[in-house]
Amino acid sequence: MNSIGTESGGNRVARILIGTLPTTGHVRQASALARALSAAGHEVAWYTGSAFVDLVRDSGATFHSMSTAIDLDDDVVQQMHITSARKPGFASMKWALLNLFIAPIPEWFAEMDEIAKNFQPHIIVVEHTFMAGLFLAEKRGLPSVAFSSTPLNMPSTDTAPFGAGLPPGRSTVGRARNRILNASVTRWVLGEPQAAANAVRRTLSLPELSSSFMNWGVELSTRFLAATIPDFEYPRSDLSSRVEFTGALIPPEPVDWHPPAWWGDIAAARDDGRPVVVVTQGATAREPRRLLLPAVAALATQNVLVIGTTGGPDPERVFPASQRPDNFRLARFLPFERLLPSADLLVTNGGYGGVQHALSLGIPLVVAGNSEDKMEVNARVAWSGAGISLGRRDPSADQIGRAVESVLTNPQYWYRARELQNAYARLPGTKLAVDAIVSAVTDGK
């Protein structure tokens, strides 16, 4: 391994190569690490999709773009959501594994390898779905750190398989259920992705792996960081000792963001004692008729201020300003770092980072979604007691309204969210993750 340099102040400087799937949730989590590592004086190079060039550069990292042919651009990401929405659960998970996570690996690997030849990294850091980076670290004999960008997905005797959206089962009956479901998923859902991933490894002159593909992030990384708290993750008696809980990776505030003209309405509502309800459509599952519009309809006559985000589409096309209720404000994007500290409730389809961000601030939730990993996030919201999961991706206005009323009026959700807030405070995610990365470089472990 290349020796680590030293700054004039005596601090050791590492060259860190980050690789992330080019989707908003994964990139925003990594931005917390990139900015903290850069601020500490380390050299950071970041390989991801072209849509995130500004975010990467704002973090202090050097941006390296995926070529157009293998960049999961907006059209590809939306196709992922459409497929997931039509066939939620295991069918969509199999499609995503084959088409989004495995098929591009050889090209991603080759491009990252070229970056590594010039950059000469001391370590490679990836979110756990980005196997190209872990394969490259293995090939080059470099240490690696993987951090979870979804709930933990590795198989366990205490949990149903990832994608089922079922609560854990640790009783005799529950474990029997788990064994049957895990065996079925291993054979019928993961069999083809497992074979495809091993075929990729052969093309890269890496040995095949017999362990479950879902466990490769833990198996191949030097250190695996569960970017959450134990209280928001199912207990596993067989969890690998290599898994370390760090707490959530909360993205830093945007460098150049300006609040909308109505921003002062939030403080005014709080001064008046009106609850502030944030409704986010998410950055991937963007169809506003699924959640945003029925939530607005449900809350239009309530004594609350509703703040909505479209996740990308033009707000005027989603809901023209002339037709919006008086208690509703809408924007394309609002940084949760600025918005959530003033919120009383988050209504969301269940993006992993946003849910954890809310809980780290003691904000309860109403969640509704079953695409991508959202069924697993939503199941954990219900299991943790910090909110209500509506168990579907297209709830009615009436269902949303009743859930919002329950969470706002039943103190048990508020108390539980505050308990989780205290647990997040004990695990300062970004600091612990940065310490783990630097330790993996300096100590080789």
Confidence grade of residue 72 (pLDDT, cut at 50, 70, 90): low
Q: Within a domain: residue 258?
A: no
Confidence grade of residue 69 (pLDDT, cut at 50, 70, 90): low
DSSP string, 269-295: HHHTT--EEEEE--SS---TTTTHHHH
239 and 304, same domain (yes or no): no
- Check which CATH number belongs to the domain holding 162 and give it: 3.40.50.2000
Q: How far is CA 77 from the centre of its chain?
A: 14
User: Can you give the pLDDT at residue 8?
Assistant: 38
Contact 265, 333 (CB under 8 A): no
Q: Within a domain: residue 253?
A: no
Segments forming the whole domain that contains residue 87? 5-247+427-442
Higher pLDDT, 381 or 79: 381
278 and 129, same domain (yes or no): no
296 and 352, same domain (yes or no): yes
78 and 216, same domain (yes or no): yes
User: Can you give the pLDDT at residue 254?
Assistant: 83
Q: What is the pairing mode between strands 387-389 and 328-331?
A: unpaired
Q: How far apart are CA 77 and CA 96, in angstroms?
A: 10
Beta partners for residue 389, in sequence order: 367
Confidence grade of residue 169 (pLDDT, cut at 50, 70, 90): very high
Residue range 261-302, pLDDT digits in tens = 999 999 999 999 999 999 997 766 678 888 999 999 999 999
Q: Edge to edge, what strands does the sheet with 345-348 contain? A: 328-331, 305-309, 276-280, 345-348, 365-367, 387-389
Q: Would the pLDDT of 342 be above 80? A: yes
Q: Would the pLDDT of 82 be above 70? A: no
415 and 433, same domain (yes or no): no
Q: Two tokens at 278?
A: 């944030």
Q: Within a domain: residue 325?
A: yes
CA dihedral defined by 218, 223, 226, 231, rounded to 10 degrees?
100
Higher pLDDT, 185 or 75: 185
Higher pLDDT, 253 or 6: 253
User: Can you give the pLDDT at residue 86?
Assistant: 53
Mean pLDDT calculated for residue range 213-232: 96
Confidence grade of residue 193 (pLDDT, cut at 50, 70, 90): very high
Q: How far apart are CA 439 and CA 306, in angstroms?
A: 44
Q: Two tokens at 295?
A: 């939530």
Phi, psi of 159 (to 5 degrees): -135, 155
Q: Within a domain: residue 190?
A: yes
280 and 341, same domain (yes or no): yes
User: Can you give the pLDDT at residue 13?
Assistant: 86
Q: What is the pairing mode between strands 144-147 and 123-127?
A: parallel
* Residue 421 neighbours by CB distance under 10 Å: 17
297 and 197, same domain (yes or no): no
Confidence grade of residue 11 (pLDDT, cut at 50, 70, 90): low
Q: Would the pLDDT of 4 be above 80? A: no
* Residue 78 neighbours by CB distance under 10 Å: 15
Residue 293: which of 266, 269, 323, 264 has the closest Cα? 323
Residue range 408-441, pLDDT digits in tens = 999 999 999 999 999 999 999 999 999 999 999 9
